[in-house]
Structure 1
């Protein structure tokens, strides 16, 4: 919020000076919030800018560091000679050693509030001009969806938050205390409900903008998190009647030709076809590969990611072992870069192998990497992959879980087994038990393998009350495997279920209180 406040002060100061010097004269070339929104195009551009902020919230280093590396899904390549602050801070998140000074976790906070700020500016000025009802509903619906999505992400990682329903224009409006978790959820539900009422159902192929289906999916996810299972069921069942479907093959859901397709409910947009400086690219896979002087064997592009981005979000054996025999998602989700590490822990790849039943040959190391986001591209560290936030398979799993938790196990199997039939290629591995406790365990595991690397695992462990037990047991195995882990790592307590409020924010705003344990 520091940047927002400083900008406001500059605008107010300049306006005051102009009034004193020029009285009634106005610079026709000056753009400010009082004269910007003159056409629908101005609002459309502003909404595009709000969508842009979601890239930083859902697909940057803090997103997968906090959503996947914090969990038992992924870890990192340790490099003894690379102990730069960013490196050690990112690894500290995975090892449960992060503190309020960590420089990797604030990026999510900043991106979330940037998105909220962008939305609030739009909503504050929506009545500046006359719009058709359809245009006005589309702008408000998309804006409230973005705000609800942003607050939903932030509240699960940080707990109670400052609530901004309008863009702050004064210091007093900017520096406010945290509201309770319930108050944040009240706003999320109100926004998502209004978005669902105002947005149209999806048409295919989609444009990448939020739809009624996306808003209802978000609402169902929120209600499930709040243990309001009947309300979750109601929202999610509406989504199942909107024309979404699963692609025949799991890997098709991530193929570039299927962006915004029938399995996509909402995804973050990337487009390498745009010209510089408008081009926006997803480079996640280069973060997830081992550090290599030349990535050609894996990506087809010669790129050196040793000193830039590589070595993170490495799939764990624990995750690989979670895939059942015959589950086609393993080969589609995880690849093995086969080669050798040198004395400085950098990797030379000689082949890419399947993760299914993989055993490294003598003299070689098989280093797993998330494969589902690797597709053909022409420039190193720039790919055209969108980032999935909600896929239809998750709608089915959320709905199945909401039914299981209401004791409707038989009905839940209809939705759960749609996902499993696709995963195994036929119905031979479908679940038949209707025991509630057994199904709860099954659904958590099913979400793990279906949504691997989509930044869901840590949140699932916290939501289901399994984080402390699962990550404590996982930490014991990790420390037995890796001598570089500190004795105090994986000390997983209830306080560690939330991340620290960024220290810089607390220093700026003395009304913010830190999370317990930080």
Structure 2
């Protein structure tokens, strides 16, 4: 100790980057910001279980051969029988916090760096958007949650108690408001995929609608048209990989087909029926019996589309074929869902068509996940106006969306009774935003979750003998998911949601 310099105990490596040396330049912060976006990809591969399969939009193909826990956990979410150790609800929790942790690092270290002010504001705004987005998901799924707002550097920082939902919402609003101030409008279309002022605006507007702060939501939503957003002329084009980050896109999670690891999507292979050969649908031959059969459109969902609605054929397809003794489907034809009648001896299984685009390698697709679209903003504005007694004005925005689906003026809504119009707007959001992970949150906001899903569950239990009597017990406590048991074992400060 007497003979050595104090610098000898400096543990920052000189031949590689470390946390002590990395966060210095704009390029380094851009890299760190990209890392904060990355967990969104993992989130979206789990989020459809909790936001779509938990609802009347989709169900699953029961696998009576493989009754492993991975299949049972996913089924349990749809059946309202999920336990505290369900790895798929837990994954949503963990991926959100991974994104928050990485955003916190950027936000906390950014003021210490000597970089251009315009770049600093852009990086900070994106990081705060991501933190707000993840907390908004968490608070609606889990209620009170730990509120991490700084980089976790020591063990004590990792074990926080749950903060009241009201406190979490206050932080979401603060972050989203800061993001609106710091971020720019889209520089052009197609966009880069980064969060913009428009992304933060729609996020904060949805927060305000959730809190019934309708006037504030209205003000925000009416700023979006001047930012350049528009509906695309053809609904199906919205989901084409040729139109990623288009004028209709306000925020979407970015995926990229190719050899680079972990950036590709594979939604279509999860959403097709389990088959030994997917070539009839995807154009690429592969066996998806280990990954498929999830997020299958329900009969109730298909019946929700009105006659002449172009969105039905753009959103849902039919895989026609036969099942073998092992409950594996052989696909013999790809059919349109409109007026579908199965061929003799065949069965038609619906699948989500929105994420079916040309590609060359199985499980390696280029589809982004749409999070916020301009159509969503228009319908949210209609909902907001109707809630304020402005039904006539609400119809203007509602019918913009319907004009694209049916043709201008062909199916315009005229209803101005607030309660009936509320139901119509909820229905319109269901068919316009089907399979984009909005349905669960829309039902919660409507106050009709228990009523709608209990009735749906009774129909499902009559239809499917594999559903136990305990399924679809849609009680109030099931409107929140359980705090992961593994987290509670690590952190004694965490309490559990009532009922679990």
TM bracket (short chain):
over 0.9
* Deviation (angstroms), 1:21: 9.5
Q: Distance in 2 between matches of 1:197 and 1:285?
A: 37
* Partners of 1:197 and 1:358 in 2: CA distance: 50
CA RMSD, 1 decimal: 1.4
Q: Which aligned pairs between 1:47-62 and structure 2 lie closer than 5 A? A: 47-57=33-43, 59-60=44-45, 62=46
User: Does the alignment pair 1:326 with 2:296?
Assistant: no
Closer, same or farther: CA 421–510 of 1 in aligned 2, 3 Å: same
Could you tell me the TM-score, scaled by structure 1's length? 0.94
1:120 alignment counterpart: 104
CA contact (8 A) 2:12 2:18 kept: no
Deviations 1:215-245 (A, max 9, x none): 0000100000000000110111111221111
Q: Note the C-alpha offset of 1:361.
A: 2.3
In structure 2, which of residues 248, 258, 265 is the aligned counterpart of residue 263 of structure 1? 248
Matched, 1:425 2:403: no
For 1:76, the equivalent position in structure 2 comes to 60
* Matched ranges for 1:445-456 at <5 A: 445-456=427-438
Task: After TM superposition, give the deviation of residue 23 of structure 1 in Å.
Answer: 3.5
Aligned CA distance change for structure 1 residues 404 and 80 (closer, same or farther; 3 Å)? same
* Contact 1:328–1:425 under 8 Å retained in 2: no
* Unmatched tracts of structure 2, length 5 or more: none
State the match for 1:240 in structure 2. Answer: 225
CA distance in 1, matches of 2:497, 2:355: 34
1:217 matched to 2:202? The reply is: yes
SS at the partner of 1:64?
helix
Q: Which secondary structure state, in structure 2, belongs to the residue aligned with residue 35 of structure 1? A: helix
Residue of structure 1 in register with 2:273 after alignment: 290
The alignment status of 1:379 with 2:361, answered yes or no, reads yes
- Alpha carbons 1:338, 1:364 under 8 Å: kept: yes
Tell me which of 193, 205, 213 is aligned to 1:228: 213
Distance 1:398 1:494, change over 3 A: same
How far apart, CA to CA, are the structure 2 residues paired with 1:38 and 1:357? 60
Match of 1:360 among 334, 342, 354: 342
Secondary structure at the aligned position of 1:126 is classed as helix
Structure 2 match to 1:88: 72
1:23 & 1:332 partners in 2: Cα distance? 63
- Distance (whole Å) between structure 1 residues aligned to residue 10 and residue 422 of structure 2: 68
Structure 2 length-normalised TM: 0.97
Alignment of 1:89-238 (within 5 A): 89-205=73-189, 206-238=191-223
4+ residue runs of structure 1 moved beyond 2 angstroms? 18-27
Aligned length: 496
Please state whether the residue corresponding to 1:336 is helix, strand or coil.
strand
CA contact (8 A) 1:204 1:261 kept: no
1:203: how far off?
A: 2.5
Query: Which secondary structure does the structure 2 equivalent of 1:349 belong to?
Result: strand
Separation in 2, partners of 1:194, 1:372: 33
SS at match of 1:266: strand
Q: Deviations over 1:176-205 (max 9, x none)?
A: 100011100000000000000000011222
Q: Tell me, what secondary structure is at the counterpart of 2:227?
A: coil
Residues in 2 aligned to 1:177 and 1:25: alpha-carbon distance in whole angstroms: 32
